[in-house]
Amino acid sequence: MSRRSGQSGSVYVKGSKYIGRYRADVPGQNKRVRRTVIIGNIEQFTRPQAERWLSRFIEDQGINDASHLARSQSSVVTFGLAARAWKDHHLIVNKKRSSQRSMSCELNKHILPHLKDTPLEEVTYPIVRSLIQT
């Protein structure tokens, strides 16, 4: 994990299409996952054009950035872990006992069953609205 250089991917022909392969980091794992993307027909591109297209695609995905590597090396923070930390550090320290009891009950009964294993960055406004409607 300490020596992760950039990648350009590889291009190969399958049938009448150019296919590009590259490796992507998975958060919380040491190994990379192999991804494939269809570049286009062999009539549309030459092989060097397909390789340039793949390198631009990898650049747009941000796979070679240092921030992407740092994000993949850190463990995934789920909503359940963040809620537990909020409960321990804020709710218990700053709120009255009656508020602690009612907020803990609401959190455990209505919110955590739906969002416990969801990564924190995926909890967005539409997800919260759908939770409120249910």
Neighbour order of strands in the sheet with 32-41 = 10-14, 17-25, 32-41
- Model pLDDT for residues 67-123, shown as the tens digit of each residue: 655 555 556 678 888 888 888 887 777 778 888 888 888 888 888 888 887 887 778
- Model pLDDT for residues 7-25, shown as the tens digit of each residue: 778 899 999 999 999 988 7
For the chain, the domains span 10-73, 79-133
Q: Among 50, 52, 4, which Cα is nearest to 24's?
A: 4
- Model pLDDT for residues 119-133, shown as the tens digit of each residue: 877 788 888 888 888
